[in-house]
Structure 1
Amino acid sequence: MIEDKNQQRTGLAALGEFGLIEHLTQNIEIKQPSTLTGIGDDAAILDFKDKKVVISTDLLIEGVHFDLGYMPLKHLGYKAVVVNLSDIAAMNATPTQITVSIAVSNRFPVEALDELYDGIKLAAKGYNVDIVGGDTTSSQKGMILSITAIGEADAEDLAYRNGAGDGDLLVVTGDVGAAYMGLQVLEREKQVFQVNPNNQPDLDGYSYLIERQLKPEARTDVKAILKGLEIAPTSMIDVSDGLSSEIMHLCRLSGVGCNLYEEKIPVDPQLINTCEEFNIDITTVAINGGEDYELLFTIKQDDYDKIKGNPNFTIIGHLTQQSEGTHLITRANTKIPLKSRGWNALSNDEA
């Protein structure tokens, strides 16, 4: 990336911690009725009346979860919010508030954190969630982001990972695999740039894949769509660690097996073209890629007629008795064991 060497740089020390927090959080508006007080006191006060409260938190570490070589700070802020809202959506709940904590080294000026917060605020506005608190502190090296998301739901609407039953249909939103291939394209262009800094990346033809990697969206719309169809999901999880890994989570926690059909797995045409260019197997990417932030859920067979043909959803398989195990049914109608090769953050590698 070519950097503007003449851009304004205000050292963090010039504002101090409280000044920095005030600077970053100015003009934040409160929209949610459940937010009684937000930023400005020792703690936020929330009131959810008779709703159930859903909470999730995530840690993003530079060099492990993101690379600022090709991840713009505004995109990072946006994505950091989205990945947490996705966890709330995966409980079939509605996100309402977030807190944002940042640790940064002195290599980041105030202007860099302004960019990061522009992305955070954009996501909060787009998903109608309030920013109600957080913290800033120093880091010896790089950037660490921690976002906590809070949501609400009626008790009867909540969907867990352990509610699926034998015979239930396996459904996924959107398409899968694109975010992983977007990462492969960005990594390739980064290596080309390192060899020849004058060589500008050619990203034409990869726009969808790169957007799925740098600016994913949380499927907070699914709860209302399912309610409109009068479908209550029996279990639900978000596809952040790879489709096969998430299916196996649902099966293990629900005490069931499954048959996943290769020909049913939804993929984007851009993914197919890029996998062929990289000489990578499409199905391997689709089931193991991760970071898609789509929702994977199960429904009763009785709900089939309500969901068939809906453009938001694809039925990709069905659940079986646990004794039958978890399997991928290939296009050639071969039954092979489904393996979990999703992302494992603790090993910084594929598991």
Structure 2
Amino acid sequence: MLEDKSPQRTALENLGEFGLIKHLTQHFELNHESTILGIGDDAAVLDFKGKKTVVSTDLLIEGVHFDLSYMPLKHLGYKSVMVNLSDIYAMNAQATQITVSIAVSNRFPLEALEEFYAGVALACKTCHVDLIGGDTTSSTKGMLISVTAIGIAEENEIVLRKGAKPNDLLVVTGDLGGAYLGLQILEREKEVFKVNPNSQPDLEPYSYIVERQLKPEARKDMVELFEKLGVKPTSMIDISDGLSSEILHLCNESEVGCNLFEDKIPLDPTVISTAEEFKMDSTTIALSGGEDYELLFTIDQEDYPKIKANPNLTVIGHMTDKKEGAHLITRAETKIALTAQGWNSFEG
């Protein structure tokens, strides 16, 4: 359901593919020295002068990854960029350029795509990245979005999923579970709207978690903070599929085990109260909810004094020998094996 608040509807065929791209990208400026040539030719030209390049691509599909009945197009454009940049920051790299490709059905007028690209532009400005290309085409199945993010780092600064050692501390940025509960609120209001289209939802009490779902922020600040503090994580990943899945990725790639402490998992008060409202367990939501786009990383214990006073960071556990396995230590001090129960787009 595409809400069209503007009476003006310009059909996309009026512009043609190249005219459409030119129209949607005309106000994007290039800010990076590494961007030699952006949009307008057969390909972009980049020059990173000896630094290593990191590249990540995500595909977002209407009805699988987003629902336009409650996802404003401007927010969707913003989120599409942020979820990609998050992968670049998870490598301890600086994001520099993106490409954005979209396929849309004929129910989308030009004005809808302008909204989407306004969100893309805001994300580019927020994270200081250049839009350097992309593609537009028609779709018979609603909207499809593909974003590729490019970043740079010195070779010795890149952080992989492997590299964690036994006794390393497990650290997370921000707080967890908000995005999943924000989605539950939006889904609930969608069902109410179906029954009573005149009802106006009061989302004010849930504004924090709804924003976590609709407008996530990639942790660009952490890459800058690591440099400032003189800390290089031993391994790192972004939390897109839920904390438990991401911890197990680090364990598997680094060939270590882990003890995660339930009482250390950072939860916003809104997450705790909303979980109770839905009769859900807040720990389970943090472990399995996903879409928080925080960073999960490990550091050598010697680096702990450098991070301990930082309000953005929480030590939630430590790595162990591989043979010990990955476990959650509950508040009751029982030990439960961690299982990957994160979001899976292939589950029906």
Q: TM-score range by the shorter chain?
A: over 0.9
Q: CA deviation at 1:6?
A: 6.0
1:46 alignment partner in structure 2? 46
Residue type at the aligned position of 2:7: Q
2:94 alignment partner in structure 1? 94
Task: Provide the secondary structure at the position in 2 that maps to 1:40.
Answer: coil
Percent pairwise identity: 68
Distance in 2 (alpha carbons) for counterparts of 1:6 and 1:112: 9
Deviations 1:144-188 (A, max 9, x none): 000000000001110000111111000000000000000000000
Task: Provide the secondary structure at the position in 1 that maps to 2:66.
Answer: coil
TM alignment of 1:213-232, pairs within 5 A = 213-232=213-232
Q: CA deviation at 1:324?
A: 0.3
Distance in 2 (alpha carbons) for counterparts of 1:69 and 1:2: 6
Task: Provide the secondary structure at the position in 2 that maps to 1:336.
Answer: strand
2:321 alignment partner in structure 1? 321
Distance in 2 (alpha carbons) for counterparts of 1:96 and 1:136: 22
Give yes or no for the alignment of 1:108 onto 2:108: yes
1:287 alignment partner in structure 2? 287
Whether the aligned pair in 1 keeps the contact of 2:256 and 2:321 (CA below 8 Å) is: yes
Whether the aligned pair in 1 keeps the contact of 2:3 and 2:69 (CA below 8 Å) is: no
Deviations 1:46-104 (A, max 9, x none): 00001100000000000000000000000000000000000000000000000010000
Give yes or no for the alignment of 1:74 onto 2:47: no
TM-score (norm 1): 0.98
Whether the aligned pair in 1 keeps the contact of 2:93 and 2:153 (CA below 8 Å) is: yes
Give yes or no for the alignment of 1:20 onto 2:20: yes
Distance in 1 (alpha carbons) for counterparts of 2:144 and 2:3: 22
Residue type at the aligned position of 2:28: I
Distance in 2 (alpha carbons) for counterparts of 1:6 and 1:190: 22
Give yes or no for the alignment of 1:135 onto 2:138: no
Change (3 A) 1:170 1:116: same
2:208 alignment partner in structure 1? 208
Change (3 A) 1:274 1:189: same
Distance in 2 (alpha carbons) for counterparts of 1:293 and 1:59: 16
Change (3 A) 1:11 1:327: same
Residue type at the aligned position of 1:227: E
Deviations 1:169-223 (A, max 9, x none): 0000000000000000000000000011011111121000000000000001111
Q: Which 10-residue stretch deviates more, 143-152 or 301-310?
A: 301-310
1:298 alignment partner in structure 2? 298
1:338 alignment partner in structure 2? 338
Distance in 2 (alpha carbons) for counterparts of 1:229 and 1:25: 37
Q: Which 10-residue stretch deviates more, 303-312 or 239-248?
A: 303-312
Deviations 1:97-136 (A, max 9, x none): 0001000000100000000000001100111100000000
2:256 alignment partner in structure 1? 256
RMSD, aligned CA: 1.1
Residue type at the aligned position of 2:59: L
Aligned residues: 348
Give yes or no for the alignment of 1:61 onto 2:61: yes
Distance in 1 (alpha carbons) for counterparts of 2:92 and 2:6: 47
Give yes or no for the alignment of 1:180 onto 2:180: yes
Distance in 1 (alpha carbons) for counterparts of 2:56 and 2:327: 30
Whether the aligned pair in 1 keeps the contact of 2:12 and 2:109 (CA below 8 Å) is: yes
Q: Which stretches in structure 2 are left out of the alignment for 5+ residues? A: none
Q: CA deviation at 1:141?
A: 1.6
Residue type at the aligned position of 2:10: T
Q: Which stretches in structure 1 are left out of the alignment for 5+ residues? A: none
2:150 alignment partner in structure 1? 150
2:10 alignment partner in structure 1? 10
Distance in 2 (alpha carbons) for counterparts of 1:181 and 1:260: 22
TM-score (norm 2): 0.98
Q: CA deviation at 1:347?
A: 2.1
1:120 alignment partner in structure 2? 120
2:266 alignment partner in structure 1? 266
Runs of 4+ in 1 over 3 A off after TM superposition: 1-6
Residue type at the aligned position of 2:86: S
Change (3 A) 1:5 1:168: closer
Distance in 2 (alpha carbons) for counterparts of 1:304 and 1:4: 51
Whether the aligned pair in 1 keeps the contact of 2:2 and 2:68 (CA below 8 Å) is: no
Whether the aligned pair in 1 keeps the contact of 2:17 and 2:137 (CA below 8 Å) is: yes
Whether the aligned pair in 1 keeps the contact of 2:2 and 2:69 (CA below 8 Å) is: no
Q: CA deviation at 1:346?
A: 2.1
1:159 alignment partner in structure 2? 159
Q: CA deviation at 1:38?
A: 0.2
Change (3 A) 1:52 1:282: same
